[in-house]
Structure 1
Amino acid sequence: MDSSCFLVYRIFRFRKRNKNIPSSLPPSSPPSSLSQNWLHPVFLSFRGEDVRKGFLSHIQKEFQRMGITPFIDNEMKRGGSIGPELLQAIRGSKIAIILLSRNYGSSKWCLDELVEIMKCREELGQTVMTVFYDVDPSDVRKQKGDFGKVFRKTCVGRPEEVKQKWKQALTSAANILGEDSRNWENEADMIIKIAKDVSDVLSFTPSKDFDEFVGIEAHTTEITSLLQLDLEEVRMIGIWGPAGIGKTTISRVLYNKLFHQFQLGAIIDNIKVRYPRPCHDEYSAKLQLQKELLSQMINQKDMVVPHLGVAQERLKDRKVLLVLDDVDALVQLDAMAKDVRWFGLGSRIIVVTQDLKLLKAHGIKYIYKVDFPTSDEALEIFCMYAFGQKSPKVGFEQIARTVTTLAGKLPLGLRVMGSYLRRMSKQEWARSIPRLRTSLDDDIESVLKFSYNSLAEEEKDLFLHIACFFRRERIETLEVFLANKFGDVKQGLQILADKSLLSLNFGNIEMHNLLVQLGLDIIRKQSIHKPGKRQFLVDAEDICEVLTEDTGTRTLVGIDLELSGVIEGVINISERAFERMCNLQFLRFHHPYGDRCHDILYLPQGLSNISRKLRLLHWERYPLTCLPSKFNPEFLVKINMRDSMLEKLWEGNEPIRNLKWMDLSFCVNLKELPDFSTATNLQELRLVDCLSLVELPSSIGNVTNLLELDLIGCSSLVKLPSSIGNLTNLKKLYLNRCSSLVQLPSSIGNVTSLKELNLSGCSSLLEIPSSIGNTTNLKKLYADGCSSLVELPSSVGNIANLRELQLMNCSSLIEFPSSILKLTRLKDLNLSGCSSLVKLPSIGNVINLQTLFLSGCSSLVELPFSIENATNLQTLYLNGCSDLLELPSSIWNITNLQSLYLNGCSSLKELPSLVGNAINLQSLSLMNCSSMVELPSSIWNATNLSYLDVSSCSSLVGLNIKLELNQCRKLVSHPVVPDSLILDAGDCESLVERLDCSFQNPKIVLNFANCFKLNQEARDLIIQTSTCRNAILPGGKVPAYFTYRATGDSLTVKLNERYLLKSLRFKACLLLVEGQNKWPHWGMNIVTSREPNGYIVLYTPSSHLQGPLLMENLYTFEFELVVTSSEFVVEFRVDRYKCAARQRSSLVIAGETEVRSVNLPKSVVDGGCMNQCETLL
């Protein structure tokens, strides 16, 4: 086979699911209350020994892919009963999934969880889903069979009351229709189905936002008609209306109804907040917006977006549903949806905005205006929040209408006013009416302000703190910042949530833009002309005035300056700017899009002092080498001074007992860290790319509550202090790119809570201490690029919980410890680029290994035979293992193996013969295996094989492959197809893509029958340039390309005598039209009269294209003939019947043009024939 040979082999199989399998996993939950706030999306209840190693890990991975983080109590210490932390987790989860397995009933813990879950279902409206894993639902319901036996053992000695609760909970759970694993042939399909059902429930906002949104059906119906979902075009529509009218809710309802019809989908909200104006670095901001778009669209958190063309590259062939909410500038649309050509056919982009001109400027023609509700609808909205029902309670009819009229028709105002009056008596309502009449003037601000005025003073203050400074914080973070300032922050938040002044979702605080604006306006009115006398400053112009003119006062509590909003470009801050701000507690100067190349704030005279009451100090690109000498960080909770000129934080040893978070990343001049002796509450310390930092102080050992230590890129750091062993609560230690680090202290073994250790890029590291084996909770160990590392300690086998071990490009690593066989929980092992590694020890006991990377191990000669015991191995990379001579025959016994990559294994001559045993093998890549002579014939027994690459296998002798895509009716595109392939894409009705193929192999056949959407470029390619033996493609007439035409079942050809006795190649094109006879099967032959008394069969169609003869399709043939006469007849026969044509038959002879017409009465075949004037040797 030629070295340029490239083969990609894909088979698309669509299996119909068993009809008895439930069509969905219906969530079971009663109506939820208006005020329920969820802390976690999903809680999983399971019996570890039954599901942990297989099903649980796989469903976790699928959840992770979809961006769902379930709560799993893997790491909780289990005692006699479930503790308060777990109870809170169960009660705070929107969905509970119960994995009912054979031994579920053997655990008192599981049964207690189940009781609590069923209680939450009844009382809190929690959605409950069930999965019956290798157990009969009837056995669970009636506690019989093997399930019943283990359950009865658990019940022995238990109080009757407890046993009855367990039984009732099991019965109730079993009555919830769920997925039964025994009904699924493929567990992976079941997991995908469950994850999708969970995603659907999570994506569907609770009833308080959707079901109770009055008139929602009418809105969505009208917008759906604008979307015209049956059209294949890409369409943008706009949803336009004033703030607070419900545009966001409408768009979310619409998204939830429609997203299942699309390949990809995303809602990008609060775009106005994400892209503030003005912006210094517009391009960086646009890149960030596009990054967020793609991250959500394809569920990939760490997207790299180097230029604004990435979105088009990634989405141009995908049918997407995209909602862009709260857009207020054209540049935002330029970043995320500049052109409809960015998206695949059938895509729909919904732009939500208050600005009609913006929609028109972007060329959006289809616009839906959200009108105010009618009087009756307004009353209904109000009643939902005032009474929890759609109509007034008895006796409240008239007064409810009065209040509704006063509150106006804006849904947000009605919701806030209804929440304010909820649970009040009729007398209290009556007493409120006079105040409402004098306070409300049809303006939304007055409605919202009325509810704000009803708050207690402390609740008002909390509202202002959130609106002006903390509207994007998590609840737990806010509690820390406001500790000792408010009596009970959580209770205050709940009061505000009950009054619809904010919402609490999954631990996050969210506040409507109108309410934020209300808070900012209240603050502004505290001192309109003297901003330094306000409580908070957030406007860039006001802040510049205060800092440059030194007009701050003791009234100021917080300053939040987003530096992109500074118009002047440079601010010279007064030396004494902060002296009179003695009550300043929150200071934030930040760059929203990581703009690290532009200095804005300067202190030309230095800084004399800053408030000792500061709890938050966030000052990016601080221009001085040290904080003021008078600064006292006693109350500091968080300090973030990334990318600053700091050489040290402050002089002397200051108490920092309240400090929880410190980030000094990118302070390249930082040489000295503060004394940490009092930092006993510090949880996170980030020092990324502090290039001048040589050592950590020994006092770091006093930070006993530290959870994360990030020293990435500290290239001057030579060693860690031994006191680091005192950090017994440390979970993550990042030492990536610490290129001067020579060793780790042996005390590292005392950090027993450590879960992730990253040493990647520590090129000077000589060894890892044997004490590492004591970190038994370690799950991830990365040492990529540790080029000086010669060996791993054998004690690594003692890290029983290790899941990932990465040693990529450890070029000095000669051997791997045999103790690896003890790592029974290891899932991913990466030894790629370990060019000195000669052999791999037995890995047969590593039963949970799923991915093994050995690419670039150029000295590796063989794999251990025991690899067959790694039964869960799914992916094996051996690319570039140039010395690898053979694969063990046992490799095909790895029943879960899905992907095998052997690219560049130049010494590999053959594959083990029983490749057909690899029943789950989907991808096999052998590119550049230059010594590979042949593939075992059993390869075609690998029935799930969907990708085979043998490009540049220069010694490969032969291959005969068919790519079967027949009746893949939703297939839109297919991969590049090699010229050696027989391609059957018949009835692929959605196939539209151009063909990146040349089809220059005369031995192959192509079937594009009934592919009516195939574009013209692809059709021309097949007709005009391909040399394939025969092809079928859609068409209602013979193309004009065939210039010689005739009508009928035969064509008389006249040739110049100079072609006599030469072998010529011809191409024919035929069109079948309806006649009196029907032919259910292919039976067309092409014959020619060579002599007056006989015929020669020129062509019999390929057996690969058996099937009924089709109208509205073109048939092309290539055949060759030695011409012995200047005139001969080509005849087209179908099932031995003579045929006639509806239009014309044609013949093309290159360089000459001659047309012959033959008229016959019955029209069945329309054909053409082309001579390429080519002598065949």
Structure 2
Amino acid sequence: MFHLSFGHSFAELVALILLPGLAFYLLNRKKASARRSEEDAGTGAPGSMPTPTEANSDGSSPSPTATTSGGFSSSSTETQSGGCSSSPTEINNGASSSSPTETNNGACSSLTATTGNRYEVFLSFRGPDTRYGFTDHLYHGLLNAGIDTFRDDDELCQGQDIRPALVAAITDSKILIPVFSESYGTSDWCLDELVQMMERKNNNGQIVLPVFYKVKPYDVGHQNGRFGDAFLEREGRLLKRGFDPTILENRKKALLEVSTLSGYEVDGYEANLVKSIVRNVLSELKRKFELDISENLVGIDSHVNHVMERVSKSRATLFVGIHGMGGIGKTTLAKVIYNKLSNQFEHRSFLADIRESWKRNGVHYLRNQLIYDILKRENEVHSENEGTKFISSKFKGKKVLVLLDDVDDVVRVKCLAGKRDWFSSGSMIIITTGNEKILKEVGVDYAYKHEEMDNDQALILFSQHAFRRHPPPRKFKDLTHEAVFIIGGLPLSLEVLGSLLCGEELALWRGTIDKLKKVPPKKVREKLRISYDVLEDEQKQIFLDIACFFISTDRRTASYMWDACRFFPGEGIEVLRFMSLIKIDDDHKLRMHDQLRDLGREIVREENQWPKNRSRLWDSEEIGKVLKQNKGTEKIQAIYPSKSSSEGSCKIATRDGAIYTDKQFKKLTRLRFLHMMEGAHLRGDVKDSVDELKWLQWENCPTNFEVDNFHATELVVLELPHSKINEAWEGWSSFKQIDSSIGGMKALLRFELRARESLTKLPAQIGELKALEQLLLNNTRVLSPLPESIVSLPKLEILDISCTSIKKLPNDIGRPRRLRVLRASHCENMEVEMP
């Protein structure tokens, strides 16, 4: 009883001490809450806003043009709560704004100091519209994925000037996400944050990822609809009260610019959209860890030093080989060495992925690329003997640095860099291969075996892709060590499987590790397939298309077909990149590691033992057998023959003049992509055979188009490179939907007529292609004039008339509102200035 009595008395004593402070604290919280509710109500509708100016202590009005150093307008004291935050001069208990070290919230004392290092994403939103709904879900989705996110109504402290903290948070966040809602444009804070965000995007390269919550991007950019009504009504009141019009114009400019960015529209299932945004953010944040040439490569220095010690001091022509298993990082190592040595050489060439490029394009393509890199001369060789003679004679006086990447046959080396005396002394030829025997046959001066990572390096690389940091979070530490132990030291597997687990819950980690345990240690592709298996069906289709056909293809072109097939390429490509299954160059070219490429092709081969029953055909010999023996089936969706060569020879089997008939295409009723062999002819009635065709490539297409009922009404991409056709080409009449002209191709998005030697003019009906986005006419040297109807193309974005004979552009060439790229270099006959 004594102890109980003492405890009760002690509690009373503590209560007497603490209650006044607690009451004071709760009272302030209640006042702040009431103040926020009042602000939400006061700014939620344009008609209920308080006056934008407030009398100073002397009774005068503050200057309407006053701004802070951070760019935030302080001309209006309309309070903006939540996301676009509360008043910057909020008073604490009747006193002036307290310093950051005197606020009620102890965490506030270090806010300003830590903002720059702490946040990866900055969220800007209109509190009354989305604080308790979509933005809250997005905020917690980002946090749950381990993304440090700034949300100002949570992060900013009451009783201090928030502007410096906001500016710092925007400046130092890698990704900036404005969430546009109907009343976003009625908030000074929101609009000033947006101006800051667009400035950071344009000046610092930060990523702005807009989200349009139940408003349209066009309405935001042009102040239309309900968004525009609210914005313009408030703008009118501000102007009447002397608000600085320059600030308003800057806000409008920011709204217009952000509306053109790729973002998200919220008008449906929000949970899935939140997942998509989180995945996109993670993808952007982890890009710097991709296994390309970057400053974040793990454990590569020792390998580079080993090779450099052996080669850097030699004055003789050296052949250096790097070999090892697939996915070990041979190409990455070779690139780093190439970059370190490049300043010592005036003439350099990097021939990437020779194994695939040789099969797809042939030896002449690679030789001409090598010649162009060294001598800047185009299309010099067209035969085996000519190529060998040219390279061996023209390079003799050149000290060159050449990287031959992914060589799978000694013949490839002999055709491209056959002997040391082809080059000047001091030259270096670097070869990467998975087959050490090739290096012995070449007789390299130094061969380096690239080994797997040790456990410490593997942990760092895996953690970078799984968490974007090392060491891993405490709750994932044991699972991370277990995963790395099972995966081993292969960089590709560590990258792909780490990316698969990035942002995922513990349950998925355990399930994936259980699957990995069942895969034999050396079965790399089976480990990689775990990532493929979790993809949605549309994403799998895109992955397989890239693996079979579209490595080094512009993703924008391929996306036209995928979009027409309802594969949703925007999200699909984003997912594949996030999972490290593909990479995208700065020039939009799709890239894929050869191990992943081989995995994709293996998956297609597993569809059926007979090529005729597979979805995709890429091997020329298999395609020839299927077509010539009339064995095509409705299973085949895409055909892209490679220019494969016979083993042990530089010669490419000629395909020119091959004749195909309607019988060979009769059963190909699901064909969506067709690359006709170079110079091939097609004859007969192809009714029902091309109804699903979305993309047609036909190199050296013949002028005598002998095809009936070629009703490719769903065609979105037509490519006819190096074809001697003109406006009278018989084929135009077959691509009809409304009439017999090209104007009937209402779905055509990209029209490429490059290098047309005999094309002198385009039909006027080109102006009827209302969906056309790209018109590429470069190197069509005798083309002139450009039809006036081109100004009627409402969606035209890119027009390329470089190296043509066009004398003038239509006066109204600026009419297409979406036109953003106009290339007109080397138009030597241009008579007048640009309109």
TM-score band, normalised by the shorter chain?
A: 0.5 to 0.7
2:352 corresponds to which residue?
A: 269
1:911 corresponds to which residue?
A: none
CA gap of 1:392–1:208, structure 2 versus 1, over 3 A, is farther
1:877 corresponds to which residue?
A: none
SS at 2:424 equivalent: coil
Q: Is 1:116 aligned to 2:189, yes or no?
A: no
SS at 2:556 equivalent: helix
d(CA) in 2 for partners of 1:216 and 1:588? 41
CA gap of 1:574–1:696, structure 2 versus 1, over 3 A, is closer
d(CA) in 1 for partners of 2:445 and 2:290? 32
1:421-456: CA deviation from partner (whole Å, max 9, x where unpaired): 222233432233333322455301111111111222
d(CA) in 2 for partners of 1:524 and 1:511? 18
SS at 1:346 equivalent: coil
SS at 1:561 equivalent: coil
d(CA) in 2 for partners of 1:748 and 1:497? 40
Distance apart, 1:341 and its partner CA: 2.9
SS at 1:267 equivalent: strand
CA gap of 1:32–1:650, structure 2 versus 1, over 3 A, is farther
- Residues 586 and 614 in structure 1, CA contact (< 8 A), matched pair in contact too: yes
Q: Is 1:338 aligned to 2:418, yes or no?
A: yes
Output aligned runs, 1:954-1033, within 5 Å: none
1:671-700: CA deviation from partner (whole Å, max 9, x where unpaired): xx9442555856535275565x78754434
CA gap of 1:603–1:114, structure 2 versus 1, over 3 A, is closer
CA gap of 1:34–1:546, structure 2 versus 1, over 3 A, is farther
- Residues 776 and 801 in structure 2, CA contact (< 8 A), matched pair in contact too: yes
1:699-751: CA deviation from partner (whole Å, max 9, x where unpaired): 3443575744468466xx9988776786796945479589xxxxx8xx96535
Which residue type is aligned with residue 648 of structure 1? Answer: E
- Residues 379 and 401 in structure 1, CA contact (< 8 A), matched pair in contact too: yes
Q: Is 1:655 aligned to 2:743, yes or no?
A: no
CA gap of 1:752–1:778, structure 2 versus 1, over 3 A, is farther
CA gap of 1:409–1:636, structure 2 versus 1, over 3 A, is same
Which residue type is aligned with residue 418 of structure 2? Answer: K
Q: Is 1:296 aligned to 2:394, yes or no?
A: no
Q: Which structure's residues are more often strand, by fraction?
A: 1
**Structure index of larger Rg:** 1
Q: Which residue of the other structure, out of 297, 300, 320, is the alignment partner of 1:216?
A: 300
Which residue type is aligned with residue 597 of structure 2? Answer: V
Distance apart, 1:241 and its partner CA: 1.2
Q: Is 1:634 aligned to 2:718, yes or no?
A: no
Distance apart, 1:408 and its partner CA: 3.4
Output aligned runs, 1:796-875, within 5 Å: 796=832, 799=833
d(CA) in 1 for partners of 2:594 and 2:775? 35
Output aligned runs, 1:202-241, within 5 Å: 210-227=294-311, 229-241=312-324
1:524 corresponds to which residue?
A: 605
d(CA) in 2 for partners of 1:710 and 1:555? 37
d(CA) in 2 for partners of 1:446 and 1:718? 56
2:674 corresponds to which residue?
A: 587
1:1024-1074: CA deviation from partner (whole Å, max 9, x where unpaired): xxxxxxxxxxxxxxxxxxxxxxxxxxxxxxxxxxxxxxxxxxxxxxxxxxx
Distance apart, 1:403 and its partner CA: 2.0
Distance apart, 1:569 and its partner CA: 6.6
CA gap of 1:720–1:516, structure 2 versus 1, over 3 A, is closer
Q: Which structure's residues are more often helix, by fraction?
A: 2
Distance apart, 1:120 and its partner CA: 4.0
Distance apart, 1:268 and its partner CA: 1.9
CA gap of 1:121–1:311, structure 2 versus 1, over 3 A, is farther
Q: Which residue of the other structure, out of 629, 632, 648, is the alignment partner of 1:552?
A: 632
1:1044 corresponds to which residue?
A: none
Distance apart, 1:302 and its partner CA: 4.2
Distance apart, 1:561 and its partner CA: 1.0
- Residues 315 and 342 in structure 1, CA contact (< 8 A), matched pair in contact too: yes
1:270-304: CA deviation from partner (whole Å, max 9, x where unpaired): 11122128x9xxxxx44432321243346x47464
Distance apart, 1:245 and its partner CA: 0.8
- Residues 552 and 580 in structure 1, CA contact (< 8 A), matched pair in contact too: yes
d(CA) in 1 for partners of 2:196 and 2:400? 43
2:503 corresponds to which residue?
A: 423
1:752 corresponds to which residue?
A: 813
Q: Which residue of the other structure, out of 743, 766, 773, is the alignment partner of 1:676?
A: 743
Q: Which residue of the other structure, out of 324, 340, 353, is the alignment partner of 1:257?
A: 340
d(CA) in 2 for partners of 1:373 and 1:233? 32
d(CA) in 2 for partners of 1:160 and 1:727? 33
Which residue type is aligned with residue 246 of structure 1? Answer: G
CA gap of 1:608–1:620, structure 2 versus 1, over 3 A, is farther
- Residues 326 and 353 in structure 1, CA contact (< 8 A), matched pair in contact too: yes
Output aligned runs, 1:485-504, within 5 Å: 485-486=565-566, 488-504=568-584
Q: Which residue of the other structure, out of 545, 554, 562, is the alignment partner of 2:642?
A: 562
Flag structure 2 segments of 5+ consecutive residues without an equivalent. Answer: 1-115, 122-170, 177-193, 210-242, 255-287, 647-651, 817-821
1:908-960: CA deviation from partner (whole Å, max 9, x where unpaired): xxxxxxxxxxxxxxxxxxxxxxxxxxxxxxxxxxxxxxxxxxxxxxxxxxxxx
Output aligned runs, 1:329-478, within 5 Å: 329-478=409-558
- Residues 560 and 749 in structure 2, CA contact (< 8 A), matched pair in contact too: no
CA gap of 1:584–1:296, structure 2 versus 1, over 3 A, is same
Distance apart, 1:639 and its partner CA: 2.4
Q: Which residue of the other structure, out of 680, 685, 702, is the alignment partner of 2:768?
A: 702
1:39 corresponds to which residue?
A: none
1:587-623: CA deviation from partner (whole Å, max 9, x where unpaired): 11344xxxx6xxxx56687766622110111233557
- TM-score, normalised via structure 2 length: 0.58
1:1013-1033: CA deviation from partner (whole Å, max 9, x where unpaired): xxxxxxxxxxxxxxxxxxxxx
Which residue type is aligned with residue 341 of structure 2? Answer: L
SS at 1:542 equivalent: helix
- Residues 538 and 560 in structure 1, CA contact (< 8 A), matched pair in contact too: yes
1:81-132: CA deviation from partner (whole Å, max 9, x where unpaired): xxxxxx9xx999xxxxxxxxxxxxxxxx9998654345645999xxxxxxxx
- Residues 499 and 579 in structure 2, CA contact (< 8 A), matched pair in contact too: yes
d(CA) in 2 for partners of 1:304 and 1:655? 42
Output aligned runs, 1:1056-1135, within 5 Å: none
CA gap of 1:680–1:575, structure 2 versus 1, over 3 A, is closer
- Residues 633 and 667 in structure 2, CA contact (< 8 A), matched pair in contact too: yes
* Fraction of identical pairs, as percent: 25
2:596 corresponds to which residue?
A: 515
1:554-602: CA deviation from partner (whole Å, max 9, x where unpaired): 22211111244599877764642222221110011344xxxx6xxxx56
d(CA) in 2 for partners of 1:675 and 1:342? 51
d(CA) in 1 for partners of 2:823 and 2:328? 51
CA gap of 1:633–1:266, structure 2 versus 1, over 3 A, is same
d(CA) in 2 for partners of 1:315 and 1:568? 28
1:58 corresponds to which residue?
A: none
- Residues 561 and 590 in structure 1, CA contact (< 8 A), matched pair in contact too: yes
Distance apart, 1:217 and its partner CA: 1.1
**Larger mean Cα displacement after TM superposition, 580-589 or 727-736:** 727-736
- Residues 629 and 650 in structure 1, CA contact (< 8 A), matched pair in contact too: no
CA gap of 1:429–1:734, structure 2 versus 1, over 3 A, is closer
d(CA) in 2 for partners of 1:427 and 1:695? 63
